[in-house]
Structure 1
Amino acid sequence: MIYECLIKRLNPLIEEEATIEINGVELTGFISICPYEIKVGKSYQVAIGFTILDELIIHEILEEKKEIERIGSGYDYYLSGLLHAGKIDAGLVFTDDDEYFADFLKLKDKPVEIKVDRISLEFISTK
């Protein structure tokens, strides 16, 4: 899903790091694709995904909730929401580009919580 995001911060020390806001939700992620220069205070179209560095930690939760929770001051996040084929709806829809969810078909359309190592940001070309 493509969202309109506001650039809140760009890290001058880590070129790929950006803090964005989408629909009132602020998150910090890593830019995977950006075909143009972005600037703080400007809005751009972006698709969001996630990166798992080791193993996917996913479990069903009893309460249906949609939440994006940063873990400490690092890049890890808990995403809570409904698991669908190829995506999780945690209030914002995160695509599963690496097909991690294919191994969890029994959790499809159920409320889950997953731990991701970082959020990926793909800025969409408007040309």
Structure 2
Amino acid sequence: MNNIKEVKLLKLSETIAEEVTLLIGDEVVECFASCCPYELEVGRIYSAEISLNLSQSYEVQEVEPTDVRAVKKGRGFSYYLYGYLNDKEFMTFTALFDEDVHYEYPDLNNKFICLEVERIDASFC
């Protein structure tokens, strides 16, 4: 299982070289471009591996089901991600595979959760 997604580059930051705004599925998210071996062009579609960067003390909790979505947490790259945890797959604005949450919070399996992430990384292929 991998997290390689087709993404559309909407914006490059003028101040932070690694900041990119991507359209992933139907959701617009600001990501940290952790690997980019070539020059990016706004408006183009790329393949990128999307991964979640969790802090040492990240928070996850069961919440009432709502829309699956990404909600920006203030300034920077932090987000609250809402979705279903199904074993190693987190169904949020896109399907993401992450074993850490599954193994650290097995009681939240098959539940609708809110996961706080430090940033969403995009590694361009």
Q: TM-score range by the shorter chain?
A: 0.7 to 0.9
Matches for 1:1-127 after TM superposition, within 5 Å? 1-63=3-65, 65-96=67-98, 99-124=100-125
Number of residue pairs matched? 123
Structure 2 residue matching 1:106: 3-state secondary structure: helix
Contact kept? 1:64, 1:82, Cα under 8 Å: no
Structure 2 residue matching 1:14: 3-state secondary structure: coil
Measured after TM superposition, the shift of residue 14 of structure 1 is 1.6
Give the Cα–Cα distance (whole angstroms) in 1 for the partners of residues 34 and 12 of structure 2. 14
Give the Cα–Cα distance (whole angstroms) in 2 for the partners of residues 81 and 114 of structure 1. 8
Q: TM-score, normalised by structure 1?
A: 0.84
Structure 2 residue matching 1:44: 3-state secondary structure: strand
Q: Compute the RMSD of aligned alpha carbons.
A: 1.8
Structure 2 residue matching 1:122: 3-state secondary structure: strand
Identity %: 27
1:8-38 Cα offsets, whole Å, 9 max, x none, are: 1112322211111122311001012223221
Structure 1: segments with no counterpart, 5+ residues: none
The AA in structure 2 aligned to 1:42 is R
The AA in structure 2 aligned to 1:3 is K
The AA in structure 1 aligned to 2:53 is T
Give the Cα–Cα distance (whole angstroms) in 2 for the partners of residues 37 and 85 of structure 1. 36
Give the Cα–Cα distance (whole angstroms) in 1 for the partners of residues 119 and 42 of structure 2. 21
Measured after TM superposition, the shift of residue 64 of structure 1 is 5.1
Structure 2: segments with no counterpart, 5+ residues: none
Give the Cα–Cα distance (whole angstroms) in 2 for the partners of residues 33 and 74 of structure 1. 18
Contact kept? 1:48, 1:93, Cα under 8 Å: no
Give the Cα–Cα distance (whole angstroms) in 2 for the partners of residues 73 and 87 of structure 1. 27
Structure 2 residue matching 1:102: 3-state secondary structure: helix
